[in-house]
Chain A
Amino acid sequence: MDPRHEQLLMINRRQFFGRAASGIGAVALASLLNPRLFADTPAQSLAKGNGLLGAPHFAPTAKRIIYLFQSGAPSQLDLFDYKPKMHELFDTDLPDSIRMGQRITTMTSGQARFPVAPTMFKFRKYGQSGTIASELIPHMASIVDDITVIRTLHTEAINHDPAITFIQTGAQQPGRPSLGAWLSYGLGTENHNLPAFIVLISEGSAVRPSQALFSRLWGTGFLPSEHQGVQFRSSGDPVLYLSNPPGIDQHSRRSMLDALAKLNLKQHDEFGDPETLSRIAAAELAYRMQTSTPELTDLSDEPDETFQLYGEDARTPGTYAANCVLARRMAERGVRFIQLYHRGWDQHDNLPRDIRLQCKDVDQPSAALIKDLKRRGMLDDTLVIWGGEFGRTIYCQGELSMANYGRDHHPRCFTVWMAGGGIKSGLTYGTTDDFSYNIVDNPVHVHDLNATILRCMGIDHERLTFPYQGRDFRLTDVHGKVIHGILA
């Protein structure tokens, strides 16, 4: 026998005994203690699409999440974290008392000096809350009264891939389940005709090439693979191979799937690999998505007013604006976790040029999404998150002038904003020092952010776990505390 196959069998026999024992035990106990409840076991609950938990730990304040991820790390210094004192320090060296010998990337560690590069953009207070924002984002500035700006998020990674992997999966090394996969696993799906976790990617307008994204960012790691994010493409079929190929009608497709499911079940009876069941579930979901997806992705029924709100870009499939409209349509249809990625925020050089282009991509649609959700009464239970994987440095990378500069990666503080779904409105949380280099008060670690996100969804981040390789894993590993200060 192939040793790998044998290994698979052994694991699955263990899984089988483990599950059978706990399943039978739980059923017996549940019926003994409270026969009226007919409590689902986790396995039954998972099978029904209700997720492992069956019901959340707490009353949720959010039923779904739209995560507007700004891949490449937008500069907090030029958008939200205004540092007026820096203007006096233009082109002076970053004091050692601020840097305190902390590591910097190899892209700037060879620089002879680290000159302070104040933002060249104008800032002012907006709204009744007086939240400060830059002139680059006038539309987002118009929704500040509906959002909480967190200026003190900090991460442990200093390069893109570890940092984005960290904020999305709770670990810098690849292989852990993503936030969306955990939510799908824990809470299941609302709409059985659509995935619980959908991913939409848009390319930024910045001239500098974008950072790569990997599908493992929306992967399941060791969780059952039906919980992975389904990426919708911007052209052709939104989901590959979803349409029937030429010559195959709906009836043939159905009978083909039925026959395939029989074969797969036989395989499952023989080997007991849970991934076989995931395969069947994926094929069935794809079949149901043949009708649900075209209806979802067809924006022709949106009135012109939608495109006025989100911007004319929204008419072009694959843009961030179009993805924001899609995100709202998915939210309306009960998709639990909608993950957008907008690429192109990695402004090591020519920051003023590229950040303008990037802001033009995302400013109006991001704000429109909040306004649209609000008037539809959906902002109450939809959590929207806007932010990247880390921040950018106050010191200049490359040539510094009054009109041009670049910024390197900065993990020690960066800005994200959150809205709806139980988050306070019009709040600015946390303070950084005059250089936006270190945190002065109310730090929010990436694990704290993820713990808070789960809390909004009604989940105790310490109690959503998956046993793997001899220990229980969770999104926040052994860290994370809920930031109650931003919860309404």
Chain B
Amino acid sequence: MSEPVSTTWRRLASLAAGAGALTLATAARAAELGGAADSSPSMWLQLAGRLHPVVVHFPIALLLTALLMETLQMLRRQPKPAATALTCLALGVIAAACAIGSGLANEAYESHGKALAAAIDQHQLWGIITGSVGAAALVGGLLSRALSHKALRWVYFGSLMATGVLTAVTGHMGGSLVYGEGYLTSVIWPEETPPTTLSAPDDTPPVSADIKNVTDQSDSDAGVYYEPDIRAIIAARCESCHGPSKQRGGLRLDHYAGLFGDDETLWVVQPFEPGRSEMLRRVSLPEGDDDAMPPKGDRLNPEQITLIEQWIAQGAPDAPTHASADDRPGNTRSEPETAESSGDATLVVPPAMEVDWASIKSSDPLKAADAISNLSERGAAARQIFRGSEAIDVNLSVSGKSINDDDLALLDGLEDTLVWLNLAGTSITDRGAQSLARFKQLRRLHLERTAIGDDGLNAIATLPHLEYLNLYGTSTTDAGLHALESLTALRELYLWQAAVTADGVVRFKSARPDVAVASPWSEPPKVEPAQDSEPNDP
């Protein structure tokens, strides 16, 4: 046995001994503390725990490098294990020990909730196995190199390969804890493993369907209540950290009273004030924001967020059996609409139908994008109505008379998404109006001050969703008006200075009492004189 080999052997042996000692010491200390998590936390161990996500990269890299080096050594048919591989392996085992120790500390000091508990236990078990097999491989390798024992060599290589595989498995488990299950695999097998969140342990029923139903109910004007609407969301996404097992930040959401502590300024839900409610703010934050809740897994879906917002706006009531949120401690707020008002008697315009914005989608987004950029170049204002929908608003009125029937070809590509269109004061005629029949999603249409007449209106009258139609200053006659009776969705119609007659308007109103028709004739300003009588006390 040559001198250098012996030196190497001694060095590696001392490293291994150090690694083993460190592993044992850290694990023992962490386990001791883990058993008494309530005792006052040691800052250093807590810090070590938080460094776990940093430390873990070292064993992964070193152990896999050791495997790679030794594989090359085998392929080169070298008789002895590679010194590089053994060095990497020794460092890797030390790093693994640190990773295991910091992992135990992390589990002891950080609360991860019931949902993650099982996954963390698995990760911990496999981490310890990986470290142990790695240490065994190191011993085998050192012996094999020292004794030049062939069978031992194979034992070493086999255990090294096992270490590599175990490292990958453990690492993947750790990654899943951070990024959510299926983060990696969903890219490879998108159909079989749809991205799901980790927070669906066995004891939580699947709730997404229920939440959807609840949303539908709330659309039909039913109130939103903590029980069961908000409770369902909390059970699925919040309870693991803010429930019976863990109360991170001292917050417990799984029962109604837990939301409203003694200090009103700390309430995460401020009844009637969604804008001041920390809970809504946190769940609305974009992924990746430090304050975003829940911190892991997908963001809450928009329906869930809307539901929470509605719930808070309605005063965050408890359950339908309670008339209001009177059980809430310290509730002194009144409903926002107690101001006197004679009610809706003066609401001339019936409420517009709720637009299902999400359903408005373009079948050819590239073409739609082209249309928008062409329209913008032509001086029109063309843009998404708002961020939550692909619905488009186009205002060609700003280009005035320079817009004619042929320019309406600029709108090609917006057939599925054009919802608001303003052509007021342009040079379009009946021919142009006929081409508008293809925009089936139109809700608001401005045709005032154009040369449009009855022929164009026959085409307009086929638009299924049209709610607002402005025809003031056009040559619309009673015949065109009659055609518009078939606009089932229509709510507002403007006919000032149009060529209709009083009879025509009366006939339209009797056919469509649900449409608010603005007066076709100018009325001189009339003023009610103030009377001497005092008003009743308001």
Contacts and interface: CB of A to CB of B under 8 A. Distances in A.
B345 A377 contact: no
B77 interface: no
A481 B527 contact: no
Interface residues of B, number: 65
Given A60-B385, A139-B527, A377 B494 contact: yes
B519 to A, nearest CB: 7
Given A364-B525, A377-B470, A191 B496 contact: no
Interface in B272-290: 273, 275-276
Contacts of B347: 424-426, 488
B534 A84 contact: yes
A428 B338 CA distance: 10
Interface of A: 36-38, 48, 50, 53-60, 82, 84-85, 122-130, 132, 134-135, 138-139, 141-142, 145-146, 189-193, 305, 308-309, 332-334, 364, 367-368, 371, 374-377, 380, 424-431, 441-442, 451, 458, 462, 480-485, 488
Interface string B339-356: 111101111110100010
27 contacts: A36-B366, A54-B383, A55-B386, A59-B385, A60-B386, A122-B530, A123-B530, A123-B534, A124-B533, A142-B525, A142-B526, A142-B527, A145-B346, A190-B381, A193-B379, A332-B397, A332-B425, A375-B519, A375-B522, A376-B472, A376-B494, A377-B518, A380-B492, A426-B342, A481-B273, A481-B275, A483-B336
Contacts of A368: 525
A54 B383 CA distance: 8
Given A123-B535, A376-B496, A377-B518, 13 more contacts: A38-B366, A48-B376, A59-B385, A129-B345, A138-B527, A141-B527, A189-B381, A193-B398, A374-B518, A376-B448, A425-B348, A429-B339, A485-B337
Contact of A128 (B345, B468, B527, B530): B345
A59 B425 CA distance: 25
Contacts of A127: 346
A129 to B, nearest CB: 5
A188 B229 CA distance: 39
A441 B536 contact: no
User: Interface on chain B toward A: helix, strand, loop, or mixed SS?
Assistant: loop
Contact of A484 (B313, B470, B536): B313
Contacts of B338: 441-442
B340, B365, B533, B538: which has the most chain A beta carbons within 10 Å?
B538
A484 B336 contact: yes
Contacts of B336: 442, 483-485
Contacts of B355: 59
A460 to B, nearest CB: 9
A122 B532 contact: yes
List the 4 closest pairs (A to B, CB-CB), nearest first. Answer: A135-B530, A426-B346, A377-B494, A55-B384
A484 B522 CA distance: 34
B538 A82 contact: yes
B530 A59 contact: no
B381 A36 contact: no
A367 B526 CA distance: 11
Contacts of B424: 332
B339 to A, nearest CB: 5
A63 to B, nearest CB: 8
Given A56-B387, A58-B386, A124 B535 contact: yes
A85, A308, A377: which has the most chain B beta carbons within 10 Å?
A377
A398 B535 CA distance: 29
